[in-house]
Amino acid sequence: MSKPLEVEIMGTTEIIKPSPPTPDHLRNFNLSLLDQIVPVEYTAVVLFYTGNGDANAAKKSQRLKTSLSQTLSSFYPYAGIIRDHKLVECNDNGVVYIEAYASCYLSDILHQPDQKLLRKFLPIEIESPKAGTGPLLLVQATFFKCGGVALGYCLSHKIGDGNTTGMFITSWAANSLGSNKAVIPKFIATSGLFPPDDSLAPYMDVIGSNYVTKRFALYESKIAVLRAKASSANVPKPTRVESVTALIWKCVTTAARSNRGFPRVSSTVHSMNLRKMVVPPLPDHAAGNIIGDFPAETKEKKLDLPDLVSKLRKGKEEFCKNGLQILLTNKSLTKPEELCNAVENEDIDFYMFSDLSRFQVYESDYGWGTPIWVSIPNYMHNLVMFVSTRDGLGLEAFVTLCEEDMALFERDPELLAFADFNPSVLEAPSHLGLVSRL
């Protein structure tokens, strides 16, 4: 791009309320233990649409607002407000809807996406403390000159994980199309499974100031080669996520050790969807934070992909066997301050991985086609987030590191043998044949 992107906010912010209003008997919604323990921040995602050549922004915006109001009748807690870190008062305050216009073409964004610019398509800062006290859901619809659209969502992490965010997005899209495929969420995590703990206080995340996020794409053919290289007698058929995780874990640890001058313990935690792990299993449309973390670490001086995959598989199996049962029995998790201490411990390298590759939002059609690209604006240091490529066969990794570690990581030959650094969305294998001027 020859000049910085400018996003001009036109008109006034609107508040969208559920239609019909929330019944009185649903006015108080208790947070679960897992809701309470997540940091005060927003989960964010941006979906980009070509618009199918339709440049009528007013018509699109009206469709979005009407279907959003309809969707909120099922996702009614999102229009409320959190009280005392214990419950959501479902008072139909409404959600924030912002209409914006970008003084550029969609292709200017997609040619070589800039992670910092992606935040311009969000309605609020991800790290805002309002996630615990203010609006629980904010949406920004940004319209491009060419008719393209960017939909940016910020949902308070206190009331939903990535699966819940995806559930809302696909339901909103179904309502926008007038489809009968909209999901009716089940807010059931509090009932018996994960009752709240009145002693817990809100926890603010550790963000940092000198951290940068870079995007890396790994396509199907190279992932197949990587999986073969990462296999072993212990794990003969590693999954694509295990293989890519091991590769990134190895490369970020190598970078950190090179900068620190000595080998340190490299510790990780990995988010897991618990919906199918509990007994009886919860439905896919169970809403809230229903996730747990399994750990893995290495003390080895020489890092080996098959060994790292084995450590990941062992950590996951041990959590499935014992960790979940401990969680359900004790009704407790690692306290937030313990996680914070791990992040700031100078004796170890600590990384967090979150896999959103099963996000079904690439199927979300609001009336102008499915997304050409789905992006996660990353924010927290030493965090790696995965999303699927548009064809569902590859992975995009959004990696956030301190500037010193990123300078070495992004040039690692082993990483670049499998990953393309910030490739053009328009030239990706799944997008071949698209016109270049959107």
**Domains, the chain:** 7-177 (3.30.559.10), 211-358+378-431 (3.30.559.10)
pLDDT value of position 121 = 93
**Average pLDDT, rounded, for the chain:** 88
Above 60 in pLDDT, residue 1? Answer: no
- Provide the token pair at 191: 């009932």
Determine contact, residues 400/379, Cβ cutoff 8 Å: yes
Give the Cα separation of 350 and 352 in Å (integer): 7
Q: How far is CA 158 from the centre of its chain?
A: 14
User: Most confidently modeled of 202-211, 244-253, 282-291?
Assistant: 244-253
pLDDT value of position 437 = 40
pLDDT value of position 51 = 84
Give the Cα separation of 413 and 416 in Å (integer): 5
Tally the residues of the chain: 438
Place of tokens 């020859």: 2
Average pLDDT over residues 229-243: 97
pLDDT value of position 12 = 78
Strand order in the sheet with 211-218: 291-298, 265-273, 348-355, 383-388, 395-402, 211-218, 420-421
Please, what is the angle between helix 162-177 and helix 57-72, to 10°? Answer: 120
Q: What is the pLDDT of residues 105-126, one digit of tens each?
A: 899 999 889 888 888 999 999 9
Point out the least confidently predicted range of 23-27, 331-335, 429-433: 429-433
Q: What is the pLDDT of residues 168-193, one digit of tens each?
A: 999 999 999 998 889 899 988 666 67
Give the Cα separation of 135 and 195 in Å (integer): 24
Determine contact, residues 365/359, Cβ cutoff 8 Å: no
Burial class (CB in 10 A: 0-12, 13-18, 19+), 81: middle
pLDDT value of position 432 = 43
| Selected residue with higher pLDDT from 46 and 358 | 46
Residues 6+ apart with CB under 8 A from 227: 237, 238, 239, 240, 243
Above 70 in pLDDT, residue 330? Answer: no
pLDDT value of position 2 = 53
Q: Other CB atoms closer than 10 Å to residue 399's CB: what's the count?
A: 26
Average pLDDT over residues 57-83: 96
Query: Which residues are bridge partners to 213 per DSSP?
Result: 400
Q: Using pLDDT thresholds of 50, 70 and 90, give the confidence band for residue 84.
A: confident
pLDDT value of position 431 = 47
Phi and psi at residue 210, to the nearest 5°: -110, 35
Rg, C-alpha atoms of the chain: 21
pLDDT value of position 167 = 94
Q: Indicate if 365 belongs to the active site.
A: yes
Give the Cα separation of 250 and 246 in Å (integer): 6
| Selected residue with higher pLDDT from 357 and 344 | 357
Q: What is the pLDDT of residues 50-64, one digit of tens each?
A: 987 777 899 999 999
Name the residue type at position 299. K
pLDDT value of position 76 = 97
Above 50 in pLDDT, residue 435? Answer: no
Give the Cα separation of 14 and 94 in Å (integer): 9
Give the Cα separation of 310 and 67 in Å (integer): 46
Above 60 in pLDDT, residue 213? Answer: yes
Above 70 in pLDDT, residue 337? Answer: no
Q: What is the pLDDT of residues 395-409, one digit of tens each?
A: 999 999 999 999 999
pLDDT value of position 433 = 41
Point out the least confidently predicted range of 213-222, 332-341, 397-406: 332-341
- The answer, yes or no, to whether the previous bond of 20 is cis (omega within 30 of 0) is yes
Determine contact, residues 326/357, Cβ cutoff 8 Å: no
User: Most confidently modeled of 35-49, 63-77, 272-286?
Assistant: 63-77
Determine contact, residues 438/288, Cβ cutoff 8 Å: no
Q: Using pLDDT thresholds of 50, 70 and 90, give the confidence band for residue 360.
A: confident
pLDDT value of position 324 = 76
Q: Among residues 85, 157, 270, 381, which one is catalytic?
A: 157
Q: What percent of the chain stands above pLDDT 70? A: 89
pLDDT value of position 434 = 44
pLDDT value of position 239 = 97
Evaluated on CA atoms 282, 284, 287, 289, the torsion sign reads positive
Above 80 in pLDDT, residue 283? Answer: yes
Using alpha carbons, select from 149, 88, 152, 146 the residue that is nearest to residue 123: 152
Above 60 in pLDDT, residue 339? Answer: no
Q: How far is CA 431 from CA 103, 369, 394, in A?
A: 24, 14, 13
The span from the first CA to the last CA of the chain, in angstroms, equals 14
- Provide the token pair at 268: 């990780």
Q: Among residues 111, 365, 420, 431, which one is catalytic?
A: 365
| Selected residue with higher pLDDT from 300 and 435 | 300
Q: What is the pLDDT of residues 290-325, one digit of tens each?
A: 988 899 999 988 999 999 999 999 999 999 888 877
Average pLDDT over residues 43-55: 88
Burial class (CB in 10 A: 0-12, 13-18, 19+), 380: buried
Three-state DSSP state, 314 = helix
Give the Cα separation of 131 and 207 in Å (integer): 15
